[in-house]
């Protein structure tokens, strides 16, 4: 098969981690007889520097015209003082919206080899951590109006949080469908004791649940959920939640699995053209030092093969190679543990490539 992949290296550690993922994709292409063509896309801080815009229109077009997009990370201190609408992160938000990828799937699964890297007590980890956060990605407070103005001489900032029932329903359906394919349990997370948008969220989830009698729906307030994720993560199968809550909870969920550097994500909308990115940021403090963990990006490439290109065997092969690398005791700094061999980003790529076979 021939596939056109738009590649966004982005800022900070983005270029180094994406390069390792592309080497893995190239080997998959050679092993399975595929052709992957890459189109470079500038987005984030580097696009601001080059084009004066975090996501120029023609860059977005390259993405929507591709078969899928692989992204490293964007942002960094250098652009902290640019005005809100021109920030690197705004490029990412515009990309997600422009691609219409409303459903962000973030797995929180502990690799058995990394159980000691989890900050949770062994007794909690041993109960198992294997759940998915389905995060609404193109609505809510990140996409409402943002303004800062003087009201009676007092600087006042306003961020609008808005959801309509159609937006809630389409992500709700993804939540139910995901649960149906897994353990059949869906936890809808909101803040309905305070927010109108959450009350509507809860109502729509319950209406939908009538169509999915095989899925057990529960509700949880987001503050309680943050607590339950560290208290007993084994209780979760699929969590469905709105944009900002999903952003926050997915960082928490990744940490209990050992490292945010390990977690991939997929974002999909109405078509098979998806956006695949690790959930971590651009880590400017370690950028260019060959220290980053490329596995979140490598596993994002595997998700691309599985969910957008219908290549499950190829995706399995990548996941097997990552597992073999961990089995053999190699670790980047973020997951380094006693008795392990510390490696850098490029060497991590080399070692995974060596273990990648059909």
Catalytic residues: 142, 191, 223, 247, 251
If the CB atoms of residues 252 and 350 are measured against Mg ion, the closer one turns out to be: 252
* Residue 92, binding choice from Mg ion, ligand IPM, none, Cβ under 5 to 8 Å by partner class: ligand IPM
Which residue carries 């309905």 as its tokens?
A: 192
Q: Is 92 in the site for ligand IPM (CB under 6 A)?
A: yes
Give the Cα separation of 264 and 331 in Å (integer).
Answer: 17
Closest to 48 in 3D by CA, of 74, 13, 14, 17: 74
* Part in contact with Mg ion (CB under 5 A); list of ranges 49-57, 199-207, 219-227, 242-250: 242-250
Q: Is 277 in the site for Mg ion (CB under 5 A)?
A: no
Q: Is 247 in the site for ligand IPM (CB under 6 A)?
A: yes
Name the minimum Å distance from CB 204 to Mg ion.
24
Binding mask 190-229 for ligand IPM (x = CB under 6 A): ----------------------------------------
Q: Is 247 in the site for Mg ion (CB under 5 A)?
A: yes
Give the Cα separation of 290 and 286 in Å (integer).
Answer: 8
* Part in contact with Mg ion (CB under 5 A); list of ranges 38-46, 74-82, 184-192, 245-253: 245-253
Q: Is 101 in the site for ligand IPM (CB under 6 A)?
A: no
* Part in contact with Mg ion (CB under 5 A); list of ranges 81-89, 221-229, 247-255, 347-355: 247-255
Task: Pick from 89, 130, 216, 350 the residue near ligand IPM by CB under 6 A.
Answer: 89
Cα angle value 28/174/266 (rounded, 5°): 30
Crossing angle, helix 295-307 and helix 312-327, to 10 degrees?
A: 160
Please give the residues from 275 up to 294 whose contact with ligand IPM meets the rule CB under 6 A.
279
Query: What are the φ and ψ backbone dihedral angles of 73, each rounded to 5 degrees?
Result: -160, 155
Q: Number of helices (H) and strands (E), helices first, in the chain?
A: 12, 14
Give the Cα separation of 49 and 201 in Å (integer).
Answer: 40
Which residue carries 């209406």 as its tokens?
A: 207
Contacts of residue 92, defined as CB under 8 A and 6 or more positions apart, other chains included, come to 43, 44, 54, 55, 71, 74
* Part in contact with Mg ion (CB under 5 A); list of ranges 91-99, 180-188, 224-232, 246-254: 246-254
Tell me the CA distances in angstroms from 18 to 10, 14, 42, 137, 226, one per residue in order. 9, 6, 13, 22, 31
* Residue 10, binding choice from Mg ion, ligand IPM, none, Cβ under 5 to 8 Å by partner class: none
Q: Is 295 in contact with 322 (CB distance < 8 Å)? A: yes
If the CB atoms of residues 89 and 350 are measured against Mg ion, the closer one turns out to be: 89
Q: Which residues bind ligand IPM (CB under 6 A)?
A: 75, 89, 92-93, 247, 279
Q: Which residues bind Mg ion (CB under 5 A)?
A: 247
């Amino acid at each position: 098969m021939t596939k056109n992949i738009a590649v966004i290296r982005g800022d900070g550690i983005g270029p180094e981690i994406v390069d390792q993922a592309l080497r893995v994709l190239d080997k998959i292409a050679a092993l399975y007889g595929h052709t992957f063509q890459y189109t470079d896309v500038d987005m984030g801080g580097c696009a601001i520097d080059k084009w004066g815009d975090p996501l120029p229109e023609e860059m977005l077009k390259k993405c929507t015209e591709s078969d899928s997009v692989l992204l490293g990370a964007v942002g960094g201190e250098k652009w902290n003082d640019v005005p809100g609408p021109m920030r690197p992160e705004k490029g990412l938000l515009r990309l997600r919206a422009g691609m219409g990828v409303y459903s962000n799937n973030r797995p929180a699964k502990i690799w058995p080899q990394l159980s000691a890297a989890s900050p949770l007590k062994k007794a909690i980890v041993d109960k198992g951590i294997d759940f998915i956060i389905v995060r609404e990605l193109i609505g809510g407070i990140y996409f409402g109006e943002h303004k800062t103005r003087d009201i009676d001489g007092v600087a006042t900032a306003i961020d609008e949080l808005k959801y309509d029932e159609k937006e809630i329903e389409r992500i709700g359906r993804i939540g139910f469908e995901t649960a149906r394919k897994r353990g059949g349990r869906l936890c809808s997370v909101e803040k309905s004791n305070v927010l109108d948008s959450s009350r509507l969220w809860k109502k729509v989830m319950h209406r939908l649940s009538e169509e999915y009698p095989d899925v057990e729906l529960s509700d949880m307030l987001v503050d309680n959920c943050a607590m339950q994720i560290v208290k007993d993560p084994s209780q979760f199968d699929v969590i469905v939640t709105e944009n900002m809550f999903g952003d926050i909870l997915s960082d928490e969920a990744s940490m209990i699995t050992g490292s945010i550097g390990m977690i991939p994500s997929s974002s999909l909308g109405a078509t098979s053209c998806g956006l695949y990115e690790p959930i971590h940021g651009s880590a400017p403090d370690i950028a260019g030092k060959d220290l980053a963990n490329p596995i979140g990006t490598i596993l994002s490439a595997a998700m691309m093969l599985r969910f957008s290109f219908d290549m499950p065997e190829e995706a399995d092969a990548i996941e097997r190679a990552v597992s073999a690398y961990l089995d053999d005791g190699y670790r980047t700094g973020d997951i380094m543990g006693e008795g392990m061999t510390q490696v850098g980003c490029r060497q991590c790529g080399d070692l995974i490539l060596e273990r990648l076979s059909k």
